[in-house]
């Protein structure tokens, strides 16, 4: 069994199925709120995801 990842505001994440890199803005009882820049619409987007669909990105 894999260890559960704990996310915190400021972490960089992406969807396990593929997505742009997103920034965790907050954590709620229902999931992880993430924000990212949408190049095609030239605006910031946000959405809440369940933690099991996110991967923590390595910060280099």
pLDDT value at residue 3: 59
The residues, ordered by sequence, that sit 6+ positions from 29 with a Cβ below 8 Å of its Cβ are none
Degrees, nearest 5: CA angle 41-53-45:
20
Degrees, nearest 5: CA angle 22-25-27:
115
pLDDT value at residue 5: 73
Degrees, nearest 5: CA angle 34-35-36:
130
The span from the CA of 11 to the CA of 39, in Å, is 21
For the chain (60 residues), the mean pLDDT of every run of 10, in chain order, is 77 95 94 96 96 87
């Amino acid at each position: 069994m894999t260890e559960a990842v704990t996310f915190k505001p400021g972490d960089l994440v992406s969807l396990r199925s593929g997505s742009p890199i997103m920034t965790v803005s907050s954590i709620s009882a229902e999931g992880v709120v993430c924000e990212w820049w949408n190049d095609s619409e030239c605006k910031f987007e946000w959405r809440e995801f369940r933690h099991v669909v996110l991967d923590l990105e390595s910060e280099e």
